[in-house]
Amino acid sequence: MPEQDVTVGQLLLAEYQTVKEEQKTRIGFRDNLLYVTLTVVAAVIAATAQAKRPDMLLALPPVCVVLGWTYLVNDEKISAIGRHVREDLGPRLARIAQAQQAFGWETAHRSDARRRSRKTIQCAVDLLAFCLVPLAGLAVYWCAGDPSAGLLVLSGAEAASIAGLGWQVVSYARPLR
């Protein structure tokens, strides 16, 4: 059987299929991180209430920061894939095919009049899930009694890490910039 030459167009389409599959996988993973966060928060709160030990709330910040950062990194990679398709793969394939445009959906869905408000609300949801909930846990811990010096220092470091994550969440929210 004779070998067939691979065209540039075929390579670009193969790359498109590969990056879109990665994007799809990352979207599913990212979206599940919100559910995992809610489950962990509920479990920590239930365990804290059952044990009547407010210091257990100190588990919320590291968990929420790690899950929030993982969410944010995946969200950025999802956006980077979309940007790569819109700004590199699509135009290159359109030139080869002598077409006006390739992968029109990649730009069409971004022109929705309510996109900015959706992105703003998503930023607020991300801040609520990954930053405000653990900060509320810290506030309850701080108000619950006489914290030890070591746990007070730890909780201060946790509050700083939450603030850092919150700053990252807002700075990555592109339509808000």
Compute the distance between CA of residue 103 and CA of residue 85 in angstroms, rounded to an integer: 8
Cβ neighbours for 32, distance < 8 A, ≥ 6 positions apart? none
Token pair 């959706």 is found at 118
pLDDT in 10s for each residue of the chain, 177 residues = 556 778 989 999 999 999 999 999 999 999 999 999 999 999 999 999 999 999 999 999 999 999 999 999 999 999 999 999 999 999 999 999 888 988 888 888 888 888 889 999 999 999 999 999 999 999 999 999 888 999 999 999 999 999 999 999 999 986 554
DSSP 8-state code for residue 57: G
pLDDT at position 106? 85
Cα–Cα separations (whole angstroms), residue 103 to 1, 89, 157: 34, 9, 46
H helices within the chain, ranges in order?
8-51, 60-84, 90-97, 105-108, 115-127, 133-143, 149-172
Q: Contact, 127 vs 109, CB < 8 A?
A: no
Q: Write the pLDDT tens digit of every residue in 54-100.
A: 999 999 999 999 999 999 999 999 999 999 999 999 999 999 988 89
Q: Where are the domains of the chain?
A: 8-176
Nearest to 162 by CA among 73, 62, 78: 62
pLDDT at position 112? 85
